[in-house]
Amino acid sequence: MSTLHPYLHLNGNTEEAFSFYKSVFGGELSIMRYGEAPPGETKPSPGAAKKIMHVSLPIGKETMLMGSDMPEAMPPAVMGTNFSITVSADSEEEARRVFEGLSAGGQVVMPLDKTFWGAYFGMLVDKFQIHWMVSYDRGGQK
């Protein structure tokens, strides 16, 4: 069964925001910066290399608050609508089924595919303009 997690998109202050959320909820932050991506995967400007590509903070047993700084190539996040719903699937087949179902009549932003961080991942906007990220953690398999 899939689990759902909120994913926040921020304009350069993700580290500050998640430090605040950590002070409220406790837990440990897991952070990946744009500059830590393998060569050829992303090309951040020198100023963007230290920005957050992905951060997660466990909140309870099955809920994770996640987020990132918007990439330079994307439009800035609009506060109030700067979030996505993340579906964490239990298998590639489930991820594919959910992704295909949600994208019907919508727009694929990033096709579902294997990633350098070990996930099967894709992004879409459904026909109701809701932003979704679908992921299956492949356990580091490439």
- What's the total number of domains in the chain? 1
Tell me the range of 44-48, 63-67, 73-77 where mean pLDDT is highest: 63-67
pLDDT the model gives residue 142: 46
Residue 142 lies in a domain: no
The pLDDT-based confidence of 1 (bands split at 50, 70, 90) is low
* For residue 141, pLDDT beyond 60: no
Query: Which range of residues forms the domain containing residue 127?
Result: 3-137
pTM of the model as a whole: 0.75
21-43 CB burial, b ≥16 within 10 A, e <16: bbeeeeeeeeeebbeebeeeebe
Weakest mean pLDDT among 43-47, 64-68, 100-104, 122-126: 43-47
CATH number at residue 28: 3.10.180.10
